[in-house]
C-alpha cells in the first residue's frame, strides 16, 4: 500500500483512507464530507490525526498512513503503516472492554478510559499492520 496522496479519500468498499507519513510539512484537509459527516485530517511525518464532526477519532505519533478505516457499532478496523514504531490512540465508547487483534492475532483485551480512548502500538518493521478493535 502507498501513502494517501489526497490526504483523505473514500474507498470503493465505503471505508476511508487518510494520512501521509512521508510528508515533511504539516498538511490538513478540513470539511471533507462523507456519509453526512465532516472529517478533518492533519498529517505529516510526526503526527496523523483524524476528527469526525469535530470529535477525535484517531491519532498516531509519529505520523502514519491509514487504509480502509471502518467504524462500526462494535469498534473499528484499519490497516496502518509508517516509517517508525507508532503509538496510536483511537476513541470508541467510554469505559468499555475491547479485544485487540493485530494482523489477525488476538493481542489481548483493553478497557477504554472514561473519555473512550484506547491506546496501542505498532512496529514499523512489520510493514503494514491490520488492526481490528471489537467490543468484548
pLDDT along the chain (136 residues), means of 10: 88 97 96 97 98 97 97 96 95 97 96 96 88 97
pLDDT in the model for residue 86: 96
pLDDT in the model for residue 1: 64
Cell triple for 124: 514499523
What residues make up the domain containing 62?
A: 8-135
- We report the CATH number of the domain holding residue 65 as 2.60.40
What total number of domains does the chain contain?
1
Q: Is residue 76 part of a domain?
A: yes
Cell triple for 125: 518493521
Q: Is residue 1 part of a domain?
A: no
Q: Tell me if 86 sits within 8 A of 64, measured CB to CB.
A: yes
List of residues 6+ apart from 62 with CB closer than 8 A? 21, 45, 46, 47, 82, 83, 84, 86
Q: Is residue 127 part of a domain?
A: yes
pLDDT in the model for residue 14: 95
Q: Is residue 107 part of a domain?
A: yes
> What would the 3-class secondary structure string for 37-56 be?
EEEEEEEECCEEEEEECCEE
Whole-structure pTM value: 0.94
pLDDT in the model for residue 43: 97
CA distances 111 to 32, 34, 78, 96, 118, Å, are 31, 29, 19, 5, 7
Q: Is residue 3 part of a domain?
A: no
Q: Is residue 2 part of a domain?
A: no
Amino acid at each position: 500500500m502507498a501513502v494517501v496522496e489526497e490526504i483523505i479519500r473514500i474507498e470503493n468498499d465505503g471505508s476511508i483512507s487518510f494520512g501521509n507519513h512521508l510528508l515533511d510539512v504539516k498538511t490538513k484537509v478540513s470539511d471533507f464530507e462523507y456519509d453526512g459527516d465532516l472529517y478533518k485530517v492533519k498529517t505529516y511525518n510526526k503526527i496523523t490525526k483524524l476528527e469526525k464532526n469535530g470529535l477525535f477519532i484517531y491519532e498516531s505519533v509519529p505520523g502514519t498512513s491509514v487504509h480502509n478505516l471502518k467504524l462500526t457499532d462494535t469498534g473499528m478496523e484499519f490497516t496502518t503503516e509508517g516509517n517508525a514504531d507508532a503509538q496510536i490512540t483511537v476513541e470508541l465508547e467510554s469505559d468499555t472492554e475491547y479485544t485487540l487483534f493485530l494482523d489477525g492475532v488476538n493481542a489481548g483485551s483493553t478497557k477504554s478510559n472514561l473519555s473512550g480512548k484506547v491506546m496501542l502500538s505498532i512496529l514499523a518493521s512489520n510493514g503494514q499492520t491490520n488492526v481490528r478493535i471489537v467490543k468484548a
